[in-house]
Structure formats: C-alpha cells, structure tokens
Copies of this chain bind each other. A is one copy, B any other.
C-alpha cells in the first residue's frame, strides 16, 4: 500500500522558489521577509497541503502558531460553525485556535485578552462585542467576526448582513400570512442590525413593529421572559422573530407554558443556525449566517494580514440565508 508522500519544508522551498531558511522565517512569522516572498511561501504551503511539525516550529522559533478567539458565552452555540471554518482555513498554514469565553472571565478584574497575549498568540479573532478596556497591542493582527457596535482601528471585519437576514425572516412570516409579528432583541451590534431589518420589513408592509427588549443578554432566559411579556402585552401575536436561537428556545418554552401549539398557533424563527436549532427537539426555522464561510473568510483575512502586516483593513460582508424547518406555518385560529 503506497501513501502519497507527505510534503516537507524542502518541497515548500522548491515550489516557492526560496531557501528552506526563508520558509522557516515565514513559519515563525518573522518580520524580515518581503510581502511577495511571504505570499509565495504561503501559496506553496496551501498548494502542497504542507503541515509543519508544531513542536519543531515552536522549538525553532518560539512562535506559538496559535490564534486566540474570544467568544461571548460557551452556552450560545452560534460560534461552533465559525470555529470550524476558521480551523479549516488555518490548518493548512499550520495554525491552531484556542478559545476564551468572555462571560466566564468577566468576574476577573482584568483585561479578557491578557491570557491570550501572555501565551503569545499570533493573532486575535474577536467574536464578541469589543470594549474600551481591551488593551490590544498595536502590532497584533485582529479580525472582528460579526457586526459589532464598537470599531477596532486597523482591524479587518468579517460579518453577515444581519439587516438583510432579519428582513428575509420577517418577509417569510409575512408571506405565510402573519400580520402580528413580535421581535425579541438584546444588546450589541448584531442585535441592533437584526432589529433594524425586522423594522424595515414591517414598515414596508405597513405594519406596526412590536419590539421587546428583555435585557442585553440574548439567552434562553431572556427569550422566555421576553415572550411572556410580548404575549401579555400583545395577546394576539401569531409569530415571533427571536434575536437568536437561544432566545427562540426560550420562546418555545413560553409558548408551551401557555399551551400554544408551535407552529399551529404560534410561529417562531431563530437566528444563527446554531447546532441547537438543528436538533430533533427544536427543528427551528432560523437564519443561517453561513458562519462556517465567515470562519473561512476570517482565516483568509488573518493569513493575508500575516503575509502583509501593512495592508489596508478590509470589510467582508456575506449574505445570509433562511432555513425553513418545523416552527413556522400559516397563522392558525387565534
């Protein structure tokens, strides 16, 4: 049985037309390499599917070969596909990811990035709302994943068009015949844009927007409380667009508590196409932000930034897509 021979650093050097030691410099992310030669090496690495030995690279260069990803909260599973796309995109270049949860670190009275900076990550992905207190070193490559209220100077941004996604979800409910559609919102840039998309679609249909803001968190708990409030204030609501899948799960719980059949008496739409939405138990209609593709774009932005630290920041925006499952239908007898 013959297996394809695994590419070596010599193969990469030959393909890129450079010396082996220059390949080493690129692997160690040395600043002493021209952008053009760095690009040639990265392309050869991808073409040959070369995988450097991490241990060797680490011993040789003191480079961590690791990208730190800061997420909000492990219990909101929207980030899982993002990490998958990111991991796929980075692994060819021999980079790995380590994740830190913002919520978990919040009670420590220090910068949530300190941990990553002290482990010498080579780049940061912020899949969370940035804050003033984040002390990001000037030379650290940063990509912001998702729509965020605060801008980081010099950072690339890769995000889904949350306004378009929420508009599409609302139009789906309108096309089913719903007129009394409520929206549950939370804090942060993505929530704000989703709310605007919902409001645009309702306005375009000549309908009143019913927005409930049960708090800044976008969790099952706030979704549950928000739905209670919505159905108390507007008892004839027939559909809900939740700010994300966790909130939609809470909406399903509140509906069950009031003996409302989903989707027969109440339609519920989530947002994020998280693993939760795909479960047999939820089978939730949701908006797919194509988080795996966003992860791949984040990886591409990081690799090109490492190849050329001086390039202008980019902003990439992807169009989302509605996934219809079992929680939406035409309005019933209410």
Contacts and interface: CB of A to CB of B under 8 A. Distances in A.
A221 B109 contact: no
Interface stretch (A39-47, A173-181, A231-239, A249-257): A249-257
Contact of A98 (B57, B63, B88, B119): B119
Contacts of A63: 118
Copies in the complex: 2
A66 B64 CA distance: 13
Nearest to A118: B58
Nearest to A248: B281
Contacts of A104: 80, 83-84, 87, 97
A100 interface: yes
Give the size range of A's interface with the partner.
35 or more
A253 B282 CA distance: 8
Contact of A110 (B54, B77, B221): B54
A54 B120 CA distance: 12
Nearest to A108: B91
A240 B66 CA distance: 43
A68 interface: yes
B51 A118 contact: no
A115 B96 contact: yes
A117 interface: yes
Interface in A233-283: 249-250, 252-254, 256-257, 275, 279-281
B115 A51 contact: no
Nearest to A74: B80
A110 B65 CA distance: 14
Nearest to A252: B281
Contacts of A120: 64, 119-120
A110 B57 CA distance: 13
A229 interface: no
Contact of A279 (B117, B220, B257): B220
A115 B66 CA distance: 6
A105 interface: yes
Contacts of A135: 55
Contacts of A88: 107
Contacts of A145: none
Contact of A280 (B55, B68, B99, B221): B221
A320 to B, nearest CB: 21
Contacts of A281: 220, 249-250, 252-253, 256, 281
A208 interface: no
10 contacts: A54-B111, A55-B135, A57-B118, A74-B80, A75-B80, A83-B104, A96-B118, A97-B100, A98-B116, A250-B280
Given A98-B119, A220-B279, 6 more contacts: A54-B115, A54-B117, A54-B118, A63-B118, A84-B104, A256-B281
6 shortest A-B CB distances, which residue pairs?
A96-B115, A253-B280, A58-B118, A54-B114, A253-B281, A119-B119
Interface of A: 51, 53-55, 57-58, 63-66, 68, 74-75, 77, 79-80, 83-84, 87-88, 91, 96-101, 104-105, 107-111, 114-121, 135, 220-221, 224, 249-250, 252-254, 256-257, 275, 279-281
